[in-house]
Amino acid sequence: MKALEFIAEADRALVAKSIELTLRWGQASVTAELRTKDGRRVPYLLSGQRIVLNDVPCIVGTGVDISERKRAEEELRRTQQQLQQYASELEERVAQRTATLAQSVQSLEGVLYHVAHDLRAPLRAMASFTNILLDEYAPKLDEQGQDYAQRIVAASQHMDRLVKDLLAYGRLAHTAVPVNRVNLETEVDSVLGQLSDEIRSRHAAVEVERPLPPVAANAVILHEVVANLLSNALKFVPPGTPPRIRIRAEERSRSEPRPPAEKAAAPSLTPRRSAETRAVRLWIEDSGIGIKPEYHERIFRMFERLHGMDTYPGTGIGLAIVRKGIERMGGSVGVESIPGEGSRFWVELPTVGNGG
């Protein structure tokens, strides 16, 4: 019986080729199935080496049963397939739950928006009637009664400001944000005019390094962002210390992921989408109380307050509005600060397109 007859028919040509290579190059190996007398097919690793006996080239061969290795490889293959299947299922579940969570958050923000809107009317009524009470019935109230009434007015006014900020945040989350070419210098000057009384009353020194370049933004939201940051710069200073504020801007490069091909074309006034884009970073630097490093991220969350209402009044929503507004315009925001040495807040927005 010839040696090749022990080889499974499908592997005979491969083994014959290996024998030819062994005679030509001196050695070779091949994996093939051998047939046993009882008809079983067993995988073997066959290795051959050429030798010369009495000037006649011969082959010395060995065979190793690799059944266990094959079983291990097959088990590994099945395990990898299961892992891939589990990974795909997990990814699908994560995507579904993320979508569900996003829908829940959006629904919750919608409820918050409508509740906040409906709260303003009774709050205003409360403040108005209490003011009437103080104006017309003050003589009939003792000192403690008048104090209580004034506390009601102050609390309702604070609640109204809180609701107003909640509405502003809700609008950012649920309304369209068209982006156009905005003159940054014009918006900064507008905010400075809006805050002129407070700047004078606090004897603040505000320096603007001009010119400030145009940006791709929404004028209304950008105005609100700058107003919040400047109001904080005026407010968060040590008692009796006149605020010193510096406003400047710089152009810089930033990396962005490339969009899908169908979205590559964009109007000239929208943020340019490419691997490397130009952006404008607006800095608002103050000489205030500063912020500890561990709070640099937290201060941009809703209702995060680092100080008591008596020391620095506010709603704890202003910087959350800043972040949400900047993100809706395709930008980013951050702060650099050291306690006692002031803060340097920055907002970064895309420049306008080549046609802007």
More confident residue, 122 or 106: 122
Query: What average pLDDT does this structure show over 234-238?
Result: 90
More confident residue, 257 or 156: 156
Residues 266, 142 share a domain: no
Predicted pLDDT of residue 348: 95
Residues 27, 97 share a domain: no
Residues 137, 27 share a domain: no
Are the CB atoms for 286 and 342 separated by under 8 Å?
yes
Residues 140, 197 share a domain: no
Is residue 167 a part of any domain in this protein?
Answer: no
Q: Is the pLDDT of residue 263 over 60?
A: no
Is residue 173 a part of any domain in this protein?
Answer: no
CATH number where 23 lies: 3.30.450.20
* pLDDT tens track for 86-99: 988 898 888 888 88
Is residue 71 a part of any domain in this protein?
Answer: no
In whole angstroms, give the CA distance from residue 243 to residue 195: 13
SS3 253: strand
Residues 229, 108 share a domain: no
Residues 92, 60 share a domain: no
Give the highest mean pLDDT range of 39-53, 300-314, 333-347: 333-347
* pLDDT tens track for 150-185: 888 878 777 777 777 667 776 776 677 889 999 999
Of 159, 190, 211, the position where a domain reaches its end is 159
Is residue 172 a part of any domain in this protein?
Answer: no
Structural domain of 274: 178-350
Q: How many domains does the chain have?
A: 3
Q: Tell me the whole-structure pTM to 2 decimals.
A: 0.55
Cα torsion 317, 323, 328, 330 to 10°: value is 170
Query: What average pLDDT does this structure show over 268-295?
Result: 77
Is residue 355 a part of any domain in this protein?
Answer: no
Residue with tokens 């704890």: 316
Of 65, 84, 117, the position where a domain reaches its end is 65
CATH number where 289 lies: 3.30.565.10
More confident residue, 190 or 146: 190
Q: Residue 117 half-sphere exposure, CB side, CA atoms within 13 Å?
A: 10
Residues 301, 234 share a domain: yes
Residues 320, 188 share a domain: yes
Predicted pLDDT of residue 134: 84
Is residue 107 a part of any domain in this protein?
Answer: yes
Predicted pLDDT of residue 259: 44
pLDDT > 90 in the chain, percent: 27
In whole angstroms, give the CA distance from residue 236 to residue 141: 37
Residues in the chain: 356
Amino acid in the structure at residue 151:
R
In whole angstroms, give the CA distance from residue 7 to residue 106: 68
Residues 137, 216 share a domain: no
Question: Which two three-digit tokens encode residue 217?
Answer: 């933004």
Is residue 45 a part of any domain in this protein?
Answer: yes
Query: What average pLDDT does this structure show over 221-225?
Result: 91
Of 105, 125, 159, the position where a domain reaches its end is 159
Residues 122, 211 share a domain: no
Predicted pLDDT of residue 257: 46
When the pLDDT of each residue in the chain is averaged and rounded to a whole number, the result is 82
pLDDT > 70 in the chain, percent: 81
Q: What is the DSSP string of 21-36?
A: HHHHHSEEEEEEEEEP
Residues 323, 209 share a domain: yes
Residues 194, 317 share a domain: yes
More confident residue, 293 or 158: 293
Is residue 153 a part of any domain in this protein?
Answer: yes
Which residue, among 262, 171, 176, has the nearest Cα to 224 in the 3D structure?
171
Band of pLDDT at residue 262, cut at 50, 70 and 90: very low
